Structure 1
Amino acid sequence: MADSQTQCPPPEPITTTETPLPPQCWNYTLNTDGTRHVNSSSGPKCDPNKFAYLAKWVRFSGAAGTLFATSMIPPNCCGAYYTGYYTGLMSTQCGDTVTGKVCYNWNTNTCYMSNMISVTNCKDFFVYALVASPNCSGRYCTI
């Protein structure tokens, strides 16, 4: 009697290709300034002294927190009279960059001033292309 074992072909090799991260995911400025965190009660600082009119890629870390605030922050927090928070969408795809609006809260106007920034998902963290805020009293807040 002949052996009638059925043989399956060997499995195809599984190949995965990861999209390489964009340059800003390794070429950024690290900001660890704790006065920028929403829990800081530091006196007012001036962000245009930190950021130029041309975008600069920034990663927040340490005492600064790790993310840009994404909900309204009360005035006079995070070292600012006008507290800046990101109102755009965050990318869920590694390596993707999105553009969104930063609003600056003041008194009863939750978007007293605004400017646009870009945000890149670098897999384990985000980097932000930041420009000078519209006013010295406006500041980017972190969580």
Structure 2
Amino acid sequence: EIQKTNPLPGYIEGPWIHKRNNLYYLTYASMGGNRQGTSKPAAPRPGGETISYATAEKITGPWTPRGQLAESSPNSFTTHPGIIEFKGQWYFFYHNGMVKRPVDGGGSFRRSVCIEYLYYNPDGTMKSIVQTVEGVSAPPQPNE
């Protein structure tokens, strides 16, 4: 049975659901939403999607909006999330427009897959993602 859920701030598209420690996380592409831990609106780059998220004790909700997880991706209007755990480490996948061809410097429709380490706070909220060029080439720092 399909159930209507509460509105998610700035929801656009690209939902991803994962579960950690009996809590469900719904990440999605958004236009705005709020910064994590505040009621202050997030400021996406002009015309660019950000990644926001919500949590729930049941997959059917109700969902509690938690704010922006990642800012707009470089050189791309869209960005979509993916989150997995592998060998005890959590990873955040997304895309940007940094793929370069000899004739241009990348662009919104030249999606590059990116990956960053994902960390959680003791209360179960996710730490904001810092988008890097390096990705996961360096080992994760303990307790980050």
Fold equivalence (TM over 0.5): no
TM-score (norm 1): 0.30
Higher RCO by CA contacts (8 Å cutoff, separation 6 or greater): 1
TM-score (norm 2): 0.30
User: Whose strand proportion is higher, 1 or 2?
Assistant: 2
Q: Greater Rg, structure 1 or structure 2?
A: 1
User: Whose helix proportion is higher, 1 or 2?
Assistant: 1
